[in-house]
Structure 1
């Protein structure tokens, strides 16, 4: 009897698995806020140089607010106040005139701060002034600090992917997952409370580490408890919850226009998640590999009892567990990231998955940049961004069972690449066709993202699964970081970014063809099992 047969004997996909997965997936839904949170908390409101109140009579008249702007602030081509400059001296002669050519008048950078339009957002980190009474003013010469803050968060995500992947392979999925819930709760709440921009960046970094830990550990814990016949649906439910979180964020941001309250609302639920995560059950697969057979047996009996299969659970013995999974407690502790590349089969899996993960997120987040050009409000853009994911992931769920992971991964990536490149040849006036191609490409990439999550969890063996998922997430987030950088190449050659995104997707689709099919295959537990699947005659050195 294999471990999959054990899971089937105690209820298969029963009440325990459904309840356990829901408890894991609710935090995944909320943690997906954090990757997109700065779209709202760091939104740049309309602004212009501040005009001191005591200058109302500078032109020997009691000037209105509109006249003050005309006297002190030059206008841009759209007839709106310029954001970063003011006249060196008051231009009283242009009051109530039709003078439009003021380009020759001397200007200087803002000297008294900025005035922000609060019609869309009461407060963002750009115009912060709630606690300190001193604005952060991340505009004009300081505007790059907004991107610095997001890059620091993404650096935390990259570090967390590696660190928590290693930590959960060494100390267990449940224990480290509980810690990441607490880390996001505390660090994220401090982000909302502390007064300075530097403290904001530090705790966003720590929060980013925690969010990536939640993502990779949750997926692994789900897959290791689900029998083979339920893995596709369980893995894709993970993607559905993440997409739902993006849509919920749009509604939450619409009602919470103060960035501190929005930040607080996105983090405080993790205190509750930390408390109930004590109810989660550690992976029996990992416990057996670590030689903790008594603990693994107890967890399997808990699952059997919740599923209404108490008698079947009582039949399981420690001897049966020893037969199912070879114990490598000393080796599991000594594994490192180098073991993902040390043997031929693991090397092929790691290299191909790195390319697939990088290219999928690289192209996906590049298309997300285009959504802001459709003319919708930022709240509707975020809602569309999440909603577009659902059809792609639904189709992916069906095709992964019908045609397998490998074909689904390859076709979705190659098709998205062709659609992106096809958009290059659409004339500028045909906006509807351009939007349709971009939407179809995004649907394909959403399916590819869901597939690679499932694929990564099933290809890597239990003893290094978290390290493998950590590596996959690291390369994926690296792709999302580089996507905006490549987008800037459009200033040199307009179609060049889209050509790069499309080619990267096609190359990744070809790389997916070199991965083993895992549909209807048992989860591997050791590196030796993986190598034997690639080469039955392989002998470990």
Structure 2
């Protein structure tokens, strides 16, 4: 047996085929898990929206021992009210003096029966609490992304996936009973920890599927289900106008998913990396049984197992975050991945959360945005293998950046045109966002794949946290957020061309198989040990070229 075959997990399990019953079951079940994740990240659009409001009118009933009615009237803005000269009579006039809404506010119930804004008066001097509550969710996602990587690489993909799924649903239920804004924010942060189940499920599925099925799972199946979850949000929110019951409804699908624990197996790649050969073989044998294909008497021989469990140098070792920067190839990929993902996520969530601020019906805007996502995910899945990975990412980001920068040229009296450019530009950020999950998964070796995805998505959540405040700048200038988002897109597009191409290549298992970045836009990467061990003819052909 050649050395390439010894090290190649895909080659050893090729007898399973690509689209048997086992692979279809994994694709369907893990994709359905993306539906709750799709709406949890943007449910704040309706939970934290600010209804129309004005100051309450006050009535004072005593003056000099007599009953005298005195009122204050709605002021020049929603944060103040006019005072009334003298006592309340038909001849009394309004004063030019104003005062704060000391008696609270009256919130319109035309669109929402209640939101956290109307519940706890998060307006005027307390308006900063609205973007803060949104940011608290992404702080949780950031923390979860950072810790889920090592936990998943140490304890397994499956336990972390199900724990985060349950955490997301249970905290949503408890959050519906929040008695204060502080309690809501704390639980929002904990709910964000559970949002990391998307990345873990992506890796779990990718490590059990072949290259062809992996692309369809990541982009077509899981991506579309994520967008379906997003599309279901405005439908549920339209019929459930109170924020508490909306959170309860959002928690139910995740809890229904729990019995899938006994159906979805652990990643055999991860089991092999941990030396649990018998368990890995059991997963493959059960998969072969479902697919009704014959199984070799020995799937992973002693030689194959030894190579699959060891990195360059022949040493068995526990990998840490330091392995992401220890070698030049991994360091370059990690740094570029951090910057690109942070930029893309800022724009993606910024445009998603800004749908309620666009002109027109908030429910319709959100539904249209979700429908666009479904179309973009499907198109991305169909087109992704027709161009090099860096070029594909570059084109999507350039398209988004140009559309967003054009918005500043749109006259203020054409709000519909602004809305069109924003939604069209969002198509580019949506495609780039879902594509990065696939691209980074292909760039990271199995031994640090979850940690690599974790550190890059942690950086992504920093971008998501910042996007709330970029959106808030729209109070002073409607086009300023789009200028910032467009500029960030163009910067990320330029940097993306440095990444190596992974199209038609097998997943790397070891640190030594990580690909080098390209030295300039026109060049292909050097021929590496990873390229030599990759049995894909297309991948080997691309890696023959030397840099400029």
TM over 0.5: yes
Task: Name the counterpart of 1:512.
Answer: 496
Deviation per CA, 1:186-228: give whole Å up to 9, x if none: 222111124232222221111111112x021011111111101
Structure 1 counterpart of 2:138: 154
Q: How far apart in 2 are the matches of 1:91 and 1:15?
A: 81
Given that 1:10 and 1:313 are in contact with CA atoms closer than 8 Å, whether structure 2 keeps it comes out as no
Q: CA deviation at 1:493?
A: 7.5
Do the aligned partners of 1:170 and 1:333 also contact (CA within 8 Å) in 2? no
Instruction: Find out whether 1:4 has 2:35 as its counterpart.
Output: no
What is the aligned-residue RMSD (CA, Å)? 3.2
1:256 is the counterpart of 2:256 = no
1:163-312 aligned at under 5 Å gives the runs 163-212=147-196, 214-236=197-219, 237-309=221-293, 311-312=294-295
Q: Give the 3 Å change call, closer, same or farther, for CA 333–62 of structure 1 in structure 2.
A: farther
Q: Is the 8 A contact 2:310 2:317 kept in 1?
A: no
The yes-or-no answer on 1:87 pairing with 2:71 is no
Aligned residue runs from structure 1 range 44-59, under 5 A: 44-51=50-57
Aligned residue for 2:305? 322
Sort the Cα spacing of 1:148 and 1:293 in 2 relative to 1 into closer, same or farther, 3 A.
same
Count of matched residue pairs: 513
| Aligned-pair CA distance for 1:392 | 2.4
Q: Is the 8 A contact 2:45 2:353 kept in 1?
A: no
What TM-score do the two structures reach when normalised by structure 2? Answer: 0.85
Gaps of 5+ in 2: 517-524, 531-548
- Matched position secondary structure for 1:215: helix
Q: Give the Cα separation in 1 of the matches to 2:79 and 2:406.
A: 38
The TM-score with structure 1 as length reference comes to 0.86
Q: Does the residue aligned with 2:99 lie in a helix, a strand or coil? A: strand
3-state SS of paired residue (1:511): helix
| Cα separation, partners in 2 of 1:491 and 1:171, compared to 1, 3 Å | same
For residue 23 of structure 1, the aligned residue among 23, 29, 32 is: 29
Q: Which residue of structure 2 aligns with residue 112 of structure 1?
A: 103
CA distance in 2, matches of 1:52, 1:331: 77
What does residue 469 of structure 2 align with? 485
Shift of 1:145: 1.8
Structure 1 residues 86 and 296: CA distance shift in structure 2, 3 A: farther
- Asked if the contact 2:203/2:450 (under 8 Å) is kept, the reply is yes
Query: Which residue number corresponds to residue 536 of structure 1?
Result: 528
- CA distance change for structure 1 residues 435 and 61 in 2, over 3 Å: closer, same or farther? same
2:428 matches 1:444: yes
Q: Equivalent residue for 2:369?
A: 385
SS at match of 1:337: coil
User: Unaligned 5+ residue runs, structure 1?
Assistant: 129-135
Instruction: Report the equivalent of 1:361.
Output: 345
Further displaced range: 83-92 or 279-288: 83-92
Aligned-residue offset at 1:534:
5.4
Using the alignment, how far apart are the partners of 1:62 and 1:507 within structure 2? 65
Distance of 1:344 and 1:113 partners within structure 2: 59
Deviations 1:243-291 (A, max 9, x none): 1111101101111111111111111332222332232100000100111
Contact 2:34–2:226, Cα closer than 8 Å, also in 1: yes
Aligned to 2:114: 123
Please give the per-residue CA displacement for 1:98-123, whole angstroms capped at 9, x wherever unaligned. Answer: x7xx4x44333233333332232222
CA–CA distance in structure 2, aligned partners of residues 23 and 537 of structure 1 = 36
